[in-house]
Amino acid sequence: MVLVEVRDLLAFPTGENATDTEIGGIHFNLTTLNFWNYTYYSNNTLSNGSYCFLVDKPYTPPALLLNGTFLNSTSCYLATEPIGNRARAGIGFAVGFALTLVFVLVNLKKHGQLHLPPEKRFIPIGRRWQWYWAIFICTAALIGLFTGIDVDRYRVPQLPIVLNVFFWFLMQMGTMALVWESVRHWGSWMERQYIDPDPFVLRQNDKRGMFEFWLPLFFYFWLWLNFFLIVPRNWGKIELQRSPDQTIENAIPAATDGRFKAAVFCLLVCWLTIMVSLWHSINHYEPRNRGFFNRIIGFLGYMPFRFTLLVPLSLAVIGYQGLCAWDFTASPLNVNTDLLAMYLGGYAPTLLILIVQVIAGFMRPNEDRELIRQRRERGASIDRDLGLVRKPAWWRRVNGDLPNESMRDRIMRNVREVGGGRPTTRHIERLAEQRAADLESGGAANRSSVIEMNEMHRTSTRSSVSNPPPYSPYEGKSDTRRSERAVQLAAGLLFPGSNLSNPENAGASVERGRGLELEGDPPRRPGTSERSSSTVSGLSTTSPPQQIRSMLDV
């Protein structure tokens, strides 16, 4: 409790007579002031409980009517005063939080960007939560600090003091969430590196996995309990600091009640949960040490250096909030608080936590890139053990194997190299026309020299095969028909004795394959089956077998 030695109620100054008073060089009817229950305060204000007016120069009303109305009056609840030390210090911290917000956004883009396919076990938002909370902290701090400027400018405390402390409490909760997400995600990152060589080395439904599942829920339960103990309340009593009596009777009991004290206990449970999460990650994903002292040394050695700063700073945040719950003189809820204690205990730890996070974010690489580097190192180590030598990166580019080329692009590139479609058909047609012309001009003597493969000697029951008819290119638009003509032409050049060289004979062979008798064909022997035209042969069973001299004869 704060002891008040001087009361702020003043008697009306004496005027020209008993019914006159002079305030700010202006004479007012004292009888009218007393009738409407106006009271004169030491901060140069007049108030009757419903209305409040400024009466010092240059805000002194020029006249007072009999109905209690002041002419050209100025309300007490306006920002009419110059900024004070609280506002100046708040502007300096606001600049620091604004600059930090810029670097937080840069780190969010750096660490939130994906370079590997997302995994269900490690969702991308998990690594971004700490930066989302950092953005929330900066936003709440900026709003609270800029509204704190009007705390000095209001002669009578009003809404600005409520907004200032409201967003300060939100900033404190966001700070604890930021530290929690940093520690939790570090454990998740250690797990991801641990299982990357072997995804089945750790199960998700074992005791370790279930503990990691329930621990975040436990933390946020206590954090939201802190929120509901602080935020839903009657904030109007915090504004009642317009006189020492009001401060003692209303503001101090409201600012140091049991709910604020219980909220500090909730934050302490959150901090202990952070320490448990840190211990859990080191215990499962780092080498274990034997002995009590060795485990303590290992715990401090395996813990990242940024956590050695974040953990004590977060504990300082809780300590100052606990101090405010018991001592009103150092609380930001006090209009006339101790500014050194308020900014060093209330805003400096949070700003330092953000700065440590930003610096650590710039020093650490993107997790996907780091995982790619580790996989590359493991692959190089395995290759050295096996004696394999990988070709350099430029080898694939020189041979046309582009790193970002899709399978479709590779197939199309191979097709363009080999050929296909209508260009290939036109090439075959030109080759067939050239060979047919050479056969016609050179006769049967040049036939063996024109065709690359040697003719197969066979004895046919039919008459000798005459020269193939002159080739007439297909002039239609059907690609299917054009391909068939090209195949028939190629078959006629490679196998002159077959029916594939003549479309009419090809049709007849198809009919024979269906078991139909054609006119002029010799009768089939009973008990035998007719083969298709592709394998028909007129060789006798007593003749020597064919001699295949190369694979081209097949």
Query: DSSP class of residue 331?
Result: S
Residue type, 492: G
- pLDDT of 533 reads 42
128 is a domain residue: yes
- pLDDT of 253 reads 92
How many angstroms separate the CA atoms of 365 and 358, rounded?
13
The answer to which of 127-136, 281-290, 324-333 has the lowest mean pLDDT is 281-290
pLDDT tens sequence across 2-26: 333 334 677 788 777 888 888 888 8
- Do 145 and 66 lie in a common domain? no
Per-residue pLDDT at 458 exceeds 60: no
508 is a domain residue: yes
Query: Which of 319, 348, 367 corresponds to the end of one domain?
Result: 367
Top-ranked range on mean pLDDT: pick from 155-164, 390-399, 425-434: 155-164
Phi, psi of 101 (to 5 degrees): -60, -40
Q: What percent of the chain has pLDDT over 90?
A: 31
- pLDDT of 277 reads 92
- Do 98 and 136 lie in a common domain? yes
- pLDDT of 123 reads 87
Per-residue pLDDT at 110 exceeds 90: yes
Task: Report CA 408 to chain centroid distance, whole Å.
Answer: 30
Per-residue pLDDT at 101 exceeds 90: yes
Per-residue pLDDT at 135 exceeds 60: yes
464 is a domain residue: no
Q: What band does 449 get if pLDDT is binned at 50, 70 and 90?
A: very low
- Do 139 and 51 lie in a common domain? no
Q: Where are the alpha helices (DSSP H) in 113-158?
A: 125-147, 149-153
How many angstroms separate the CA atoms of 271 and 277, rounded?
10
Per-residue pLDDT at 158 exceeds 60: yes
The answer to which of 99-108, 137-146, 525-534 has the lowest mean pLDDT is 525-534
Per-residue pLDDT at 30 exceeds 80: yes
**Comparing C-alpha atoms, which of 164, 314, 170 is closest to residue 239?**
164
- Do 64 and 136 lie in a common domain? no
- Do 200 and 319 lie in a common domain? yes
- pLDDT of 494 reads 65
Query: Which of 367, 397, 413 corresponds to the end of one domain?
Result: 367
- Do 359 and 488 lie in a common domain? no
Domain count of the fold of the chain: 3
Residue 134: count other Cβ atoms within 10 Å of its Cβ. 28
- pLDDT of 285 reads 79
Query: DSSP class of residue 469?
Result: P
282 is a domain residue: yes
Name the residue range of residue 501's domain: 481-513
More confident residue, 528 or 372: 372
537 is a domain residue: no
Please classify residue 178 by burial: count the beta carbons closer than 10 Å to its beta carbon, then call 0-12 exposed, 13-18 middle and 19+ buried: buried
- Do 106 and 217 lie in a common domain? yes
Per-residue pLDDT at 511 exceeds 50: no
Q: What is the mean pLDDT of residues 505-515?
A: 45
More confident residue, 348 or 480: 348
Q: What band does 387 get if pLDDT is binned at 50, 70 and 90?
A: confident
**Comparing C-alpha atoms, which of 17, 22, 20, 9 is closest to residue 60?**
22
- Do 99 and 48 lie in a common domain? no
Please classify residue 470 by burial: count the beta carbons closer than 10 Å to its beta carbon, then call 0-12 exposed, 13-18 middle and 19+ buried: exposed
Residue pair 292/259 in contact by the 8 Å Cβ criterion: no
How many angstroms separate the CA atoms of 552 and 189, rounded?
62
pLDDT tens sequence across 69-86: 888 888 888 888 888 899
Per-residue pLDDT at 358 exceeds 60: yes
- Do 121 and 200 lie in a common domain? yes
- pLDDT of 17 reads 82
Q: Which residue has the tokens 């520690």?
A: 183
Q: What CATH number has the domain bearing residue 176?
A: 1.20.1070
Q: What is the pTM of this model?
A: 0.68
pLDDT tens sequence across 275-304: 999 988 888 777 666 655 566 666 666 788
- pLDDT of 42 reads 80
Q: What band does 481 get if pLDDT is binned at 50, 70 and 90?
A: confident
444 is a domain residue: no
- pLDDT of 2 reads 35
248 is a domain residue: yes
pLDDT tens sequence across 388-401: 887 777 777 776 66
Tell me if residue 269 falls in helix, strand or coil: helix
The answer to which of 176-180, 213-217, 420-424 has the lowest mean pLDDT is 420-424
The answer to which of 68-77, 115-124, 490-499 has the lowest mean pLDDT is 490-499
More confident residue, 399 or 547: 399
Extract the tokens encoding 101.
Answer: 């917000």
398 is a domain residue: no
More confident residue, 482 or 338: 338
Per-residue pLDDT at 495 exceeds 70: no
Neighbouring residues of 312: CB distance < 8 A, sequence distance ≥ 6: none
The answer to which of 31-45, 214-228, 467-481 has the lowest mean pLDDT is 467-481
Q: What percent of the chain has pLDDT over 70?
A: 74
Q: What is the mean pLDDT of residues 194-220?
A: 88
pLDDT tens sequence across 516-534: 444 444 444 444 444 444 4
Mean pLDDT of the chain: 79
- Do 47 and 90 lie in a common domain? no
- Do 52 and 93 lie in a common domain? no
Extract the tokens encoding 226.
Answer: 């802190």
Query: Which of 351, 367, 383 corresponds to the end of one domain?
Result: 367
Per-residue pLDDT at 382 exceeds 50: yes
- Do 51 and 156 lie in a common domain? no
